[in-house]
Amino acid sequence: MVIKKIKFYYKWFLIWIHYLKRLSFKKESKGEIIICFDGIFSHGGLVDRLKGIISFYEISKRLDYNFFIHFNSPFNLKDFLVPSKLFWIKEKVYYNPLTSNILYLMNDFNSNPYTIIKNSNKNRFIVYSNIDYLDKILDTDIEKDIYLKWSENYNALFKPSFLLESKLKTLLSTSKKVVFHTRFTTLLGDFKDTTKLELKESEKIDLIKNVLVEINKKVASFEEYEVFILSDSIYFLNYIKENTPYRVLDGVPKHIDLNDNDIESDLKTFIDFYFMSSCEFVFLVQLPLMYNSNFSKFASIVGNVRFEKLITSTYA
């Protein structure tokens, strides 16, 4: 608990140091929300960031505030996603101590930002958040309504950039496709993450074979479909290419919060996301020790396609 508090206050310290160098006393004529991913600290993966963006865009609509996204770390979001119906790009963010309020809501599941902003005497909000607050904002627990709003907001904000669109055109086809998604994090030794466990070599192969058992069971119902496997593990994807008839997409997957990524690695994340959103069926395969990823789930929400989790508590 003490360490957690120290980390919390340290992040606030980093925020204040950052904005003390970016003071401005310019007043905005209209309320404004700016959600930031500027690399001051870790912001999480792509879907975590999108959750924050979608939530605060909804708040801005309800309060008739201007909405902007400041996203320049570890890449510039506009390299991959560009404005669709709303211009949201904010290149620089300044802090006005008279009108601005900084909201640090990273991993804060308990707050209600809509109420906080609505009742504030400030009208300009600089936000750090990676949480989906739509259920609180919409005041509903009906998943269908939440997901519909999520998709609506996403597509109002974003469309693929020329770079991303040109890559997607080479992949998308008229054939029916089903995709199976897996998230191993550190289990297969691909990269470091918030988890640290790496399996022994024999255990890696056993896990992969058991994942394939679950995939093969489901594939039997999709004889007329192209079957694709997507994953965060190049170790797993190479095994799939060498030992199964299933298809994979080119590129090496990496977590976007790793600062050593290059543009091709970051592009791979968006290609995987949009590719899944274009398939007829999306499945997340989760065996013991594997990560319960939201990546494929929210890709299916954006594309309004069927999603199902294949979860087993034991190996075959």
Where does a domain end: 133, 160, 187? 160
For the cut 60, the answer to whether the pLDDT of residue 184 exceeds it is yes
Tell me the average pLDDT across 184-203. Answer: 86
- Give me the CATH number covering residue 194: 3.40.50.11350
For the cut 80, the answer to whether the pLDDT of residue 315 exceeds it is no
> Is residue 316 in a domain?
no
Same domain? 171 vs 154: no
Same domain? 143 vs 261: no
For the cut 90, the answer to whether the pLDDT of residue 299 exceeds it is yes
Per-residue DSSP letter, 23: B
Where does a domain end: 127, 160, 193? 160
Same domain? 79 vs 32: yes
Same domain? 35 vs 108: yes
Q: And the tokens for 251?
A: 């590129």
Query: Residue 33 pairs with which residues in a beta bridge?
Result: 67, 125
Containing domain of residue 23, as a range?
Answer: 2-160
For the cut 80, the answer to whether the pLDDT of residue 174 exceeds it is no
Same domain? 14 vs 151: yes
CB 110 within 8 A of CB 134: no
For the cut 60, the answer to whether the pLDDT of residue 156 exceeds it is yes
Q: What is the pLDDT of residue 78?
A: 98
pLDDT digits (tens, 9 = 90+) for 221-260: 999 999 999 999 999 999 999 999 999 999 999 888 765 6
Same domain? 125 vs 173: no
Q: What is the mean pLDDT of the chain?
A: 94
Using DSSP's 3-state secondary structure scheme, residue 282 falls into strand
The total number of structural domains that make up the chain: 2
pLDDT digits (tens, 9 = 90+) for 58-109: 999 999 999 999 999 999 999 999 999 999 999 999 999 999 999 999 999 9
Percentage of residues in the chain having pLDDT higher than 70 = 97
Where does a domain end: 136, 160, 184? 160
Q: What is the pLDDT of residue 316?
A: 58
Task: Give residue 59's Cα distance to chain centre.
Answer: 19
Task: Tell me which of 51-55, 129-133, 162-166, 255-259 is least confident.
Answer: 255-259
Query: Residue 179 pairs with which residues in a beta bridge?
Result: 228, 282
Q: What is the pLDDT of residue 191?
A: 74
Residue of 202, 183, 191, 206 whose CA lies nearest to 286:
183
pLDDT class for 195, splitting at 50, 70, 90? low
Q: Which residue has the tokens 């992969």?
A: 208
Q: What is the pLDDT of residue 179?
A: 98
Tell me the average pLDDT across 193-211. Answer: 89
In angstroms, rounded to a whole number, what is the distance separating the alpha carbons of residues 113 and 117?
A: 6
Q: What is the pLDDT of residue 5?
A: 87
In angstroms, rounded to a whole number, what is the distance separating the alpha carbons of residues 169 and 188?
A: 31
Tell me the average pLDDT across 196-208. Answer: 94
pLDDT digits (tens, 9 = 90+) for 10-51: 999 999 999 999 999 988 889 999 999 999 999 999 999 999
Alpha helices in the chain (DSSP H): 2-20, 46-63, 113-118, 134-138, 143-157, 162-169, 201-219, 234-243, 263-277, 295-303
For the cut 80, the answer to whether the pLDDT of residue 261 exceeds it is no
Same domain? 155 vs 185: no
